[in-house]
Chains A and B, each alone.
Chain A
Amino acid sequence: MKYTLNQLKQGENGKIIGFEGGFGLKDKLDALGLREGTYITKISDAFIGGPVTIKINNTKLAIGNGMADKIIVEVDI
């Protein structure tokens, strides 16, 4: 199943499969190790417009709501 990072449920694991944004967004996320094929775990949901927090390996990242809408993840069932 495909979701945006915002739609992914708290605590769920997913694999990033694409970005709905320009190169600027892709480069920014790439620098932090967030790219197609990266496995992530969602720590917390956005709360009234707040950021989504996720975990990749040992890093925790906070990602603004708007940006999280553009990150597409796949969840295996």
Chain B
Amino acid sequence: MNVLLMGNPNVGKSVFFSRLTGTSITSSNYPGTTVEFTEGKMKREDEIVNIIDVPGTYTLNPTNKAEEVAVEMLEKGDLIVNVVDATNLERNLNLTLQLLEKDIPLIVALNLWDEAAHKGIEIDIEKLEEHLGVPVIPTVATKGTGFKTLIDKFDYRKINKRDFCNVDQRWAEIGNIIEDVQKIEHRHHSLMDIMEDITIKPLSGLPISLLVLFISFKIIRFIGEGLIGYLTEPFFDKIYRPLIMSISDFLGSDGFVHNLLIGELINGEIDFGQSFGILSTGIFIPLAAVLPYIIAFYFILGLLEDTGYLPRLAVLMDNIMHKVGLHGFSIIPMILGLGCNVPAALAARTLESRREKFIASTLMAIAIPCMAQIAMIIGLLAPFGSQYIIYVFLLLAMVWITVGLILNKLIPGFSSDLLLEIPSFRIPSFFTVLKKLWMRISGFLREAIPFVLLGVFIVNLLYALGVFELLTIYLGPLLNKIFGLPKEAISALMMGFLRKDLAMGLLAPLGLSAKQLVVASTILAIYFPCVATFVVLIRELGIIDMLKSALVMLSTTFIVGSFVNFAFHDGGFSLAGWMVIIGFFIILKIIPGVNDRKFSEVEY
């Protein structure tokens, strides 16, 4: 039997799903987290029930890809569990009534029951059941309240088909129902209400958002560096090193197998950054260098998601995002991309037009380095000083805005307007945040470690076969001329297709100067997404758009790489360099775009 979980975005369907199936999937306090349906199984009285978590939708007339998926899913269902937000009954009933026009049995789960009570909203369940003609069960998904009653109702097969009605009739009906079943007792403004408002009003919200982002970065670096300095590095040095040294001795300190597993010994010792064996560098990069930052980032992201802060950022960033042809909501794929570009590429699906998807995906892939790469950038550049790390991010930010401005001018069409529900602030449950963090960390470990190990294996193989040597001879000089990098850096550029952290790792033994590291870090972020992201992007954008996107990435790489090589001296841009940048922005501002019409003529 198939049970569909359906409802508006951000009403807690995903929490229902994890409760029912025991599997954990991501849910966040903002609309549009589930973009693909997720299927899970649960056991009920010796019967296996398929639970399907359908992307949230406001109506059955889809406006984006995620909502289309929702409507297609309808045919599969034996029973719909319509998850309804009790604090927003009126709007939620719109979908409920539309679902009741279908031939599928339905029960209503009236979720966030506790929050509704807290807000002074009283709903008469019996009367609501009478009006809808189906069972209504109050629930609190995060605590599991009402679930036993809900599961008992899974046999419900009565079809109470309503006559089809038009939009106006439907809203009139909803008005009647609300009048009859709901009582709202007005409460005084609480501190939470005030916070909710000042974080979206621009004059107070923008400074707050800067503060929030600044503190987030500080905490991420504090946790990341702390874990590396006090936990992972000491562990690898004191405990892991002797262990693999004995393996190294056993293998005779040299030879192909030794170099594959342990790598080259440097002054008779294993160097985790430079030896490049599967068991040395291959294990060290994902676990000791990258994992601490992954933990730090996803912990903070989880908090920002579950409090409901991210949609506020979308509201505040809306005007900036319009400059690059997007609207505020596209900030969310960008932030997700800082963790890993793959989920970010998926999140771009909630954008409406092909144009927006193209711009958002390209900007994300081109200028947002994932946490694995960021961790390595920090690791390699920190010894030279923080200002170099800041320069890499500054450069990527300039790439983001410049490429965005150009794409917005070149691609015909308009950006649609933001229309976003801003959720209430919720105090995140520590348990849920940790559970989500664990899920994301285990996802990283499952996907990153095999890839890095495979990568190290390939690196060794290509070295042994002399492929890198050939590349160094034939393509290396080009790299040297354009970007000022040593010829051997070509191997890093090649391996960046597989994983960016690994590519950064390949730079370590080359003894690059700070400037060369800035150039290499920047072009490694820009030139191409890693293979995992690439595959998702092809699926989401289609081959043609992906090729165009790749073309943008490659040409940007050449321009930015050679520019930095030209303009970066003694720890910063030269005056001439800054002049070029400023001149470029002025020209960009003057050149008309293909869409220069008045904004008010936009058609919907």
Contact = CB atoms under 8 A, between A and B. Distances in A.
A44 interface: yes
A75 interface: no
Instruction: Sort chain A's interface into a size bin.
Output: 20 to 34
A18 interface: no
A31 B416 CA distance: 17
Nearest to B603: A22
Contact of B418 (A33, A60, A64): A64
Interface residues of B, number: 42
Contact of A32 (B91, B197, B200, B203): B91
Contacts of A43: 197, 200-201
Nearest to A68: B417
Contacts of B197: 43-44
Contact of B61 (A27, A33, A35, A51): A27
Given A59-B91, A63-B419, A67-B417, A25 B604 contact: yes
A60 B422 contact: yes
Contacts of A57: 88, 90-91
B68 interface: no
B254 to A, nearest CB: 64
B70 to A, nearest CB: 12
Interface in B301-357: 311, 314-316, 318-319, 322, 327-328
Given A51-B418, A60-B422, A35 B171 contact: yes
Contacts of A27: 59, 61, 63
Contact of B200 (A48, A58, A60, A69): A60
B600 A62 contact: no
A45 B202 CA distance: 8
B419 A47 contact: no
B87 interface: yes
A61 interface: yes
Interface string A17-44: 0000110110111111101000000011
Nearest to B57: A31
B88 A44 contact: no
A56 B95 CA distance: 17
Main secondary structure of the interface of A (DSSP, over half): mixed
Pick from A45, A50, A57 the residue with the most CB of B within 10 Å.
Answer: A50
A64 B417 contact: yes
Interface of B: 58-59, 61, 63, 87-88, 90-91, 94, 119, 121, 167, 171, 196-197, 200-203, 311, 314-316, 318-319, 322, 327-328, 416-424, 599-600, 602-604
Given A53-B422, A57-B88, 19 more contacts: A24-B604, A31-B59, A31-B63, A32-B58, A43-B197, A43-B200, A43-B201, A47-B203, A48-B319, A51-B315, A51-B420, A57-B90, A57-B91, A60-B424, A62-B200, A62-B418, A62-B422, A65-B417, A67-B419
Interface of A: 21-22, 24-25, 27-33, 35, 43-45, 47-51, 53, 56-67, 69
10 contacts: A45-B202, A50-B318, A51-B315, A59-B421, A61-B421, A62-B422, A64-B318, A65-B319, A66-B599, A67-B418
